Structure 1
Amino acid sequence: MLPDFLLQAAKEVQAALRTHDEKLVLAESCTGGLVATLMTSLPGISDYFCGSAIVYRWDTKMKWLGVQPETLEKYTDVSRETARELALGVLKQTPEATWAASITGHLGPNAPSHQDGLICIGIAHRSSNDFNSPPEIQTIESFQCDALIAEFPFKADSTPELSLRQQRQLAAARQMLKLISAALER
Structure 2
Amino acid sequence: MLPEFLIQAATQVKGALTRQGQRLVLAESCTGGLVANLLTSLPGISEYFCGSAVVYRWDTKMKWLGVKPETLEEYTDVSIETACEMALGVLRQTPEASVAASITGHLGPDAPQQQDGVICIAVAMRTVPGFDSPPELFTVKTFQCDALMEEMPLDIQTGADFTLRQHRQLAAARQMLNLILSALEPSA
The separation in 2 between residues aligned to 1:63 and 1:82, in whole angstroms, is 13
Q: Give 1:142-153 correspondences, 5 Å limit.
A: 142-153=142-153
Alignment-derived partner of residue 65 in structure 2: 65
Report the Cα offset of residue 56 of structure 1: 0.1
CA contact 2:149–2:157 (8 Å) conserved in 1 = no
Report the Cα offset of residue 68 of structure 1: 0.1
Structure 1-normalised TM-score? 0.98
The separation in 1 between residues aligned to 2:47 and 2:25, in whole angstroms, is 12
Report the Cα offset of residue 129 of structure 1: 2.3
Deviation string 1:106-138 (CA, Å, 9 cap, x unpaired) is 000000000000000000001212422210000
Residues 1:138 and 2:138 are matched in the alignment: yes
Amino acid at match of 1:48: Y
| Alpha carbons of structure 1 residues 15 and 141: separation in structure 2 relative to 1, 3 Å | same
Alignment-derived partner of residue 48 in structure 1: 48
Report the Cα offset of residue 3 of structure 1: 0.1
Secondary structure, counterpart of 2:110 in structure 1: coil
Residues 1:96 and 2:110 are matched in the alignment: no
Deviation string 1:28-71 (CA, Å, 9 cap, x unpaired) is 00000000000000000001000000000000000000000000
For structure 1, list consecutive stretches of 5 or more residues without a partner in the other structure. Answer: none
Secondary structure, counterpart of 2:50 in structure 1: strand
The separation in 1 between residues aligned to 2:101 and 2:56, in whole angstroms, is 15
The separation in 2 between residues aligned to 1:158 and 1:77, in whole angstroms, is 30
The separation in 2 between residues aligned to 1:59 and 1:11, in whole angstroms, is 33
Amino acid at match of 2:144: Q
The separation in 1 between residues aligned to 2:9 and 2:156, in whole angstroms, is 19
Report the Cα offset of residue 157 of structure 1: 6.5
| Alpha carbons of structure 1 residues 157 and 19: separation in structure 2 relative to 1, 3 Å | closer
The separation in 2 between residues aligned to 1:87 and 1:142, in whole angstroms, is 14
The separation in 2 between residues aligned to 1:131 and 1:20, in whole angstroms, is 18
Report the Cα offset of residue 155 of structure 1: 3.3
Over 3 Å off, 4+ runs: 155-158
Larger CA deviation: 31-40 vs 152-161: 152-161
Alignment-derived partner of residue 123 in structure 1: 123
Alignment-derived partner of residue 155 in structure 1: 155
Identity in percent: 68
Structure 2-normalised TM-score? 0.97
CA contact 2:103–2:119 (8 Å) conserved in 1 = yes
Amino acid at match of 1:73: E
The separation in 1 between residues aligned to 2:131 and 2:24, in whole angstroms, is 15
The separation in 2 between residues aligned to 1:30 and 1:37, in whole angstroms, is 14
For structure 2, list consecutive stretches of 5 or more residues without a partner in the other structure. Answer: none
